[in-house]
Structure 1
Amino acid sequence: MSGPAPVPAPRLRVLVPRGMDQLARESGIGAAIRHQEKVIRSLGHEVVRSPLDDFDVVHLNTPFPDTPLLARWARLRRRPVLMWAHSTEDDFRDSFTGANAVAPLFRRWIAYLYRRGDAVVTPSGYARELISAPKYGLRAPIHVLSNGVDTSFFRPDPSARGRLRESLGLAPEAEVVVSVGMQLVRKGIVDWVELARSMPGTTFVWYGRTDPRMLTAAVRRALAGAPPNALFPGYVQAPELRDAYCGADAFCFLTTEETEGIVLLEALACGAPVLVRGIPLYRDQFPDGEVTHQVTGEGPVFVAATARKLRALLDGELADLRAAGRAAAEDVDLDRVAERLAAIYDAAGVTPRRRAGVGATARARRTGGAPDAPRAAAR
């Protein structure tokens, strides 16, 4: 005889507010929010957009002024707050005009936000180490949960090679290197432009954009003086981005600081040969010569070393790590992220609240009271 059927997990209503989050739509945080929504639905839960609707838990992701207000609103309604720590003082530096000068103030602001959470979720062990420093003053539990990647969508596709070159107006045999991200010094775009200049026979394509009003002087100079083999198509939708990863001869990501970097996960999932700057996060998580190829350093010496290693990668002189990269991406596939998110919900005491249905409302009218109040969130 078969045993009893498993009892399905109770369905939650998860508030993922849109509000000012729309300002981050084209950033890594925007991608992380979209991934969260997919994961929530894959667990059988419902995504709620408005804080005025009934909800059981709130995910807060952005460092915008509405975030502490939403946290306060959830507390008033006795709902647990999961605060995503995507940003640190370190990765705020070298971002926008004046960022370095205000970085300590930014750290105090995000620390204030993170302290509003009943639990803090950050995408890597490296990020957890940073925000565990005393200057952040966090007391709530800190969970590590990758932003993840949809490996059923981002997957190898040899036919993308021709589509990519056709979309860029290039010859079928053109050698193409891509990078993806906002146009920030921290993302390595200044070094990337110089790398393109040093390799005129290769086409370098940067996908992503930044509001021109927020560009630093160094980035404006780099873009204005970029060589003809450096192309900037701007922000593109996911299918075009997938073709870029799958059709390129290499993905070259020269970021100087990350808490994870979703674009790297996407490139690995698509089987792109990858060259990255050897920052601490990537040295530990995607080791040089095992999952990615890496170059360390900065300035002209770094650019020259990167050009040599990229040339060797393009010429097939370095180890083929594409299978290892795909395996690393599969380890943070959204299905696995969903399992880990469910465990975080359990640890944070997230449970469905009793809904104030017709019966509760009728009782309230008869007694002159309010519908049954929700139970307090576990702290």
Structure 2
Amino acid sequence: MRILIVSDAWTPQVNGVVRTLRTVVQELQDMGKVVEVVGPDRFFTIPMPSYPEIRLAIFPGKRLAKIIDEFQPDALHIATEGPLGMAARAYAIRRKVAFTTAFHTRFAEYLKARTGIPEFISYAWLRRFHGAGAAVMVATQSLREELMARGFEHVRPWSRGVDLAAFSPEPREEWDLPRPIFLYVGRLAVEKNLRAFLKLDLPGSKLVVGDGPQRRELEAEFPEAHFVGARHGAELAKAYAGADVFVFPSRTDTFGLVVLEALASGLPVAAYPVTGPKDILAEAQVPVGALDEDLRQACLKALEIERTACRPFAETYSWRACAERFLDNLVPVNALV
């Protein structure tokens, strides 16, 4: 089976969408599938306004059509709603090719936070974008229900996994900081709601691992917090394991891979009761995290949770199962012909 994935989010970007796609592609290839990802790296790009770390392909339609024609996929998946995603969608409609999409990112909420554009306008466009596909994949049941209530159709579940070999309770980073250590890992951007964490009155230390457009601003505003920049691989795993509580302040993520990475590292989670963390933590038989509209209370509750419960729960999330569900959700390109 030949699978072509078109995504505006791809290496060298570092985010949950890229990590998900890279891991699923590897799993599919291990299963004997022929998989190719078409990302912005194959096109002329410009920096995304207000987020220069992300590059956007410019007028990719003609070259993208040639790539699709040459690859001759059995299934086409459009992972994102950016310039590449729109070009792939236009190609598929023009050629009467069936395709699937995924709802990875709450662009409506992000656009409102950055530009003030009302959410209903963005959701109308997103509904139209995804409505042309045979199915739209989502990571959680609560997001599936929300999108269906907004008029999205053919919404299919597609959960996530965690690399249990990469993230574990040992070895730990021996942070030279007052305990307890409350850790955040992720992009430093407005949509991550990081101020909600950094302004909390908590004992011990606040530790921030990651980079992004808000870093300088947040460092200046919260000098008592410890910003150590982005970490990857073994260094990231040690950073997780060396903390006491993982804090996930985002209200707009559609899943939160970092939540699973923290749990795999033996780290209890504190978060708001929103899509992503509430879906993950609801499946635990014993407490592995705390949800509360008062994030400070969630942090303090999480501090009391037994760390040894976190890893076994994370072990129930498999990337192979994630890849198999993705495969089940795909449709043949000739399904509409």
Task: State the TM bucket, normalised to the shorter chain.
Answer: 0.7 to 0.9
Q: Measure how far apart 1:86 and its partner are.
A: 1.3
Q: Could you tell me which residue of structure 2 aligns to residue 376 of structure 1?
A: 334
Q: Measure how far apart 1:327 and its partner are.
A: 3.6
Q: Could you tell me which residue of structure 2 aligns to residue 131 of structure 1?
A: 147
Deviations 1:6-32 (A, max 9, x none): xxxxxx1211235x3348822222222
* Pair 149,77 (structure 1): closer, same or farther in 2 beyond 3 Å: farther
The amino acid across from 1:108 in the alignment is: A
- C-alpha contact 1:124 1:144 (8 A) present in aligned 2: yes
- C-alpha contact 1:90 1:257 (8 A) present in aligned 2: no
Q: Which of the residues 157, 167, 181 maps onto 1:154?
A: 167
Matched, 1:43 2:39: no
- C-alpha contact 2:211 2:230 (8 A) present in aligned 1: yes
Deviations 1:181-222 (A, max 9, x none): 222444231121112xx34x6232222222x3xx5xxx8764
- C-alpha contact 2:182 2:243 (8 A) present in aligned 1: yes
> Aligned partners of 1:295 and 1:94: how far apart in 2?
25
Q: Measure how far apart 1:226 and its partner are.
A: 0.4
Deviations 1:273-304 (A, max 9, x none): 2222222553354149934332422xxxx355
Q: Could you tell me which residue of structure 2 aligns to residue 181 of structure 1?
A: 186
Matched, 1:319 2:305: yes
Q: Measure how far apart 1:73 and its partner are.
A: 2.4
- C-alpha contact 2:166 2:233 (8 A) present in aligned 1: no
Classify the secondary structure of the residue corresponding to 2:228. Answer: strand
* Pair 63,322 (structure 1): closer, same or farther in 2 beyond 3 Å: farther
Q: Could you tell me which residue of structure 1 aligns to residue 323 of structure 2?
A: 338
- C-alpha contact 1:126 1:259 (8 A) present in aligned 2: no
- C-alpha contact 1:155 1:269 (8 A) present in aligned 2: yes
Matched, 1:114 2:130: yes
The amino acid across from 2:169 in the alignment is: P
Matched, 1:202 2:198: no
Q: Could you tell me which residue of structure 1 aligns to residue 51 of structure 2?
A: none
> Aligned partners of 1:238 and 1:94: how far apart in 2?
33
Q: Which of the residues 82, 94, 97 maps onto 1:64?
A: 82
> Aligned partners of 2:97 and 2:312: how far apart in 1?
37
Deviations 1:115-165 (A, max 9, x none): 1322211111111111112x44x34x22101132222322331x2233xx3
Matched, 1:252 2:247: yes
> Aligned partners of 1:94 and 1:205: how far apart in 2?
28
Classify the secondary structure of the residue corresponding to 1:153. Answer: coil
* Pair 291,110 (structure 1): closer, same or farther in 2 beyond 3 Å: farther
Matched, 1:32 2:20: yes
Q: Could you tell me which residue of structure 2 aligns to residue 7 of structure 1?
A: none
Q: How does 1:99-110 map to 2 (within 5 A)?
A: 100-110=116-126
Unpaired stretches in structure 2, ≥5 consecutive residues: 38-66
Classify the secondary structure of the residue corresponding to 1:339. Answer: helix
* Pair 377,89 (structure 1): closer, same or farther in 2 beyond 3 Å: same
The amino acid across from 2:148 in the alignment is: S
Classify the secondary structure of the residue corresponding to 1:92. Answer: helix
Matched, 1:83 2:97: no
Q: Measure how far apart 1:174 and its partner are.
A: 5.5
Q: Percent identical across equivalent pairs?
A: 23
- C-alpha contact 1:268 1:322 (8 A) present in aligned 2: no
> Aligned partners of 2:242 and 2:143: how far apart in 1?
31
Matched, 1:73 2:85: no
Q: TM-score, normalised by structure 1?
A: 0.70
- C-alpha contact 1:21 1:62 (8 A) present in aligned 2: yes
Deviates more, 1:336-345 or 1:286-295: 286-295
Q: Measure how far apart 1:76 and its partner are.
A: 5.0
> Aligned partners of 2:85 and 2:146: how far apart in 1?
21
Deviations 1:315-360 (A, max 9, x none): xxx231542x334323321022123233324xx3x3xxxxxxxxxx
Q: Could you tell me which residue of structure 1 aligns to residue 2 of structure 2?
A: 13
* Pair 59,125 (structure 1): closer, same or farther in 2 beyond 3 Å: same
> Aligned partners of 2:311 and 2:111: how far apart in 1?
31
Q: How many residues align?
A: 306
* Pair 276,306 (structure 1): closer, same or farther in 2 beyond 3 Å: same
- C-alpha contact 2:255 2:276 (8 A) present in aligned 1: yes
Deviations 1:230-263 (A, max 9, x none): 1223332232221111221221212223321111
- C-alpha contact 2:106 2:253 (8 A) present in aligned 1: no
Deviations 1:23-51 (A, max 9, x none): 88222222222232123223211222343
- C-alpha contact 2:135 2:155 (8 A) present in aligned 1: yes
Q: Which of the residues 175, 190, 195 maps onto 2:195?
A: 190
The structure where strand makes up a greater share of residues is: 2
